[in-house]
Amino acid sequence: MNRYHTQLLLLISLSLPFNPLVFAQEIYKSVDEHGNVTYSDSPSKNSKVVELPTINSQIPIDGEVAPRLFPGDTEEKPVKYKLTISEPANDTAIPPGQLSFSIQASIKPQPTTALTYTLVYDGNEQQTSSAPSFVINHPLRGSHNIAIKAKLEGKTVASSNSITVHVIRPTVSR
């Protein structure tokens, strides 16, 4: 054997394991009398060769693999927040000498993005804050409905329960 044949034989033997055709085998499908389907790499009675599609194994251009999306997994599900007013309690009376009172709320789960909170006082949005706490200064006499909304980019993502506070002020007679 001359040197050319030796090099050619060496080249073929080294490239052979990387050739996908070397590993390609035929797959056989057979169905028995009970309807059970069996796949095998060796032929049996009444088996047929299964034609498999070519697998695309090309690496993406940027080298990153795109995430696989399964049915129903197309988007992240929005977080459902629960916003609760913890202070004052519903039907709290604000006595005559008290000129202000605070409103505190808690939100669960803890937000991972910055939310804004809006105080709703008697049905009107009054104050905005980066925390779910507010102070009402010099409230007018009477009963007032209070709620808080949590917003993300201007859209309401949670609303608290509505509470009522009763501000008591002396009556001035003329």
The helix (run of H) or strand (run of E) holding residue 15 is helix 3-15
Span 115-135, average pLDDT: 93
Domain of residue 155, CATH code: 2.60.40.10
Task: Please list, in sequence order, all residues whose beta carbon lies within 8 angstroms of the beta carbon of residue 22, skipping any fewer than 6 positions away.
Answer: 16
How do residues 104-114 score in pLDDT, each as one tens digit? 999 999 888 88
How do residues 39-79 score in pLDDT, each as one tens digit? 888 888 888 888 877 776 666 666 555 565 565 555 667 78
How do residues 131-164 score in pLDDT, each as one tens digit? 999 999 999 999 999 999 999 988 999 999 999 9
155 in Cβ contact with 173 (< 8 Å): no
Q: Which domain holds residue 156?
A: 82-167
pTM of the model: 0.55
* Strand 92-94 relative to strand 163-167, pairing: parallel
160 in Cβ contact with 148 (< 8 Å): yes
How do residues 67-76 score in pLDDT, each as one tens digit? 655 655 556 6
Cα(109)–Cα(136) distance, rounded to whole angstroms?
Answer: 26
Q: Are both 97 and 139 inside the same structural domain?
A: yes
Q: Are both 93 and 162 inside the same structural domain?
A: yes
